[in-house]
Amino acid sequence: MAYFFSFLLGFFLASGSATAQISVKPEGLTHYSYCISHAKDRSNVFLLDRGTMYRCGDDIATAYFNYLGRQRVPEKRVTEAEGVFIYRMISGVGKCWNKIEDAEGNPMSIYGCDIYVEL
């Protein structure tokens, strides 16, 4: 739960505005819609006061993270209580991440994406 709230804080600080749009390139829209569908299929949908957050993982998140890298989206390395993450922002709507270390500093690689849709 702490990670979820740190995501929201990081999202609003990094995006500056929740009104920006996602990439309208076909590949960008495909990754976006796959992530939303994956989140719905696995009940990883969080209803918030002013919107909905969708969290996808597995191969869908890995592909989205890699797509953002190919688009030269800047990445940010962040150390949090849960571990070390590499973040790539989805313009104005969220971010994809790769958790590269757990809280004890052990190497790992887990991917996920969080997409926030305002009401």
Which pLDDT tens digit goes with each residue over 57-99? 999 999 999 999 999 999 999 999 999 999 999 988 999 999 9
Tell me, yes or no, whether 11 lies in a domain: no
Tell me, yes or no, whether 12 lies in a domain: no
Tell me, yes or no, whether 13 lies in a domain: no
Tell me, yes or no, whether 37 lies in a domain: yes
Tell me, yes or no, whether 15 lies in a domain: no
How far apart CA 36 and CA 3 sit, in angstroms, is: 19
Tell me, yes or no, whether 106 lies in a domain: yes
Higher pLDDT, 13 or 74: 74
Tell me, yes or no, whether 35 lies in a domain: yes
Residue 26: per-residue pLDDT: 83
Instruction: Count how many domains the chain has.
Output: 1
- Banded model confidence at residue 24, pLDDT cuts 50, 70, 90: low
Look at residues 8, 2, 6, 34 and name the one whose alpha carbon lies nearest to residue 93: 8
Task: State how far the alpha carbon of 106 is from the alpha carbons of 3, 54, 116, in Å.
Answer: 18, 27, 30
Residue 19: per-residue pLDDT: 39
Chain mean pLDDT for the chain: 85
Higher pLDDT, 1 or 88: 88
Task: State how far the alpha carbon of 43 is from the alpha carbons of 12, 15, 36, 40, 103, in Å.
Answer: 24, 26, 10, 5, 26
Residue 9: per-residue pLDDT: 36
Look up the domain containing 104 and give its range.
Answer: 2-6+21-118
Across the range 92-112, mean pLDDT stands at 96
Q: Decide if 63 contacts 31 (C-beta within 8 A).
A: yes
Higher pLDDT, 1 or 23: 23
